[in-house]
Amino acid sequence: MDRKTEDKIKSCSGNDGCAPDLNDGKAIVDKVRQVKVGQGILEVPHLMTCECGNGFYMVHYEEKCPVCGMVYGVTPCSSHTKENIKPAGINY
């Protein structure tokens, strides 16, 4: 991981504990966009099953299902666990 991405990840874990609500997909995606790490590469990609039933790999902190457009997000400090990846909405 490059230094710039590391610095952005560190800024993600500020006073608000990564995101206002780690169960709220929109709040998570808003946070990774705010600190500009949405297109950062996860250390461990996760095989996801979208709500539409399509399987895809989550390789960035923000990822979109290629079939239905559901946007998923995970904060850097919680990206090690697949269960922390939350849907934010279609084309969010």
Rounded Cα–Cα distance for residues 27 and 41 (Å): 19
Q: What is the pTM of this model?
A: 0.81
pLDDT tens digits for 11-44?
Answer: 555 444 565 677 899 999 999 999 899 999 999 9
78: alpha, beta or left, given left = phi > 0 and alpha = psi -120 to 50?
alpha
When divided into structural domains, the chain yields a total of 1
- Predicted confidence at residue 45, as pLDDT, reads 95
For residue 66, give its domain range. Answer: 3-90
pLDDT tens digits for 48-78?
Answer: 999 999 999 999 999 999 999 999 999 988 8
